[in-house]
Amino acid sequence: MTVDMSNILCTKSHEYLVEKDDILTIGITDFAVEQLGDIVFVELPEVGAAFEKGEVFGTIESVKAASELYLPVSGKIVEINENTQLKPEIINEDCFGEGWLVKVAEYNSEDYIEAMHYDQYKDFLELEEEEEE
């Protein structure tokens, strides 16, 4: 699947969102994937569950460690990516495409007003790295 990167918005905590027809598709960014390493298990919420912005909605297990997933908006889960349950490695291979995690409805777009376009996000990552060094 080819992804139009111009529609992707990324958060400072390394989730991404794509809005289409009042549904948000949410996943983790390529940077997050690289940090996690080989993903072996993904725990996702039940369809219908509601979350507040910043709440833990699931967990990603990599060979290295368990990492919690934070929802960047308040809203209701309307679909989860079942393919990640049998083939979690698709997140490593194609995080912006086949490796999406959940779809959310009933959200408020002001919740992610600070999210960045992908090229801005890349600049943000570079700045972060410089600060670290």
Residue 38 near other proteins by CB under 8 A: yes
Task: Pick the piece of the chain touching other proteins (CB under 8 A) from 6-14, 45-53, 55-63, 114-122.
Answer: 55-63
Residue 1 near other proteins by CB under 8 A: no
Strand blocks (E) in the chain? 9-10, 15-20, 23-28, 39-43, 50-51, 56-62, 66-70, 75-80, 102-105, 116-117
Task: Pick the piece of the chain touching other proteins (CB under 8 A) from 7-15, 59-67, 100-108, 111-119.
Answer: 59-67
Report the SS3 class of residue 73: coil
Q: How far is the CB of 51 from other proteins (least distance, A)?
A: 15
Out of 1, 46, 48, 65, point to the residue binding other proteins (CB under 8 A).
Answer: 65
Instruction: Please give the Cα distance from 120 to 123 (Å, whole number).
Output: 5
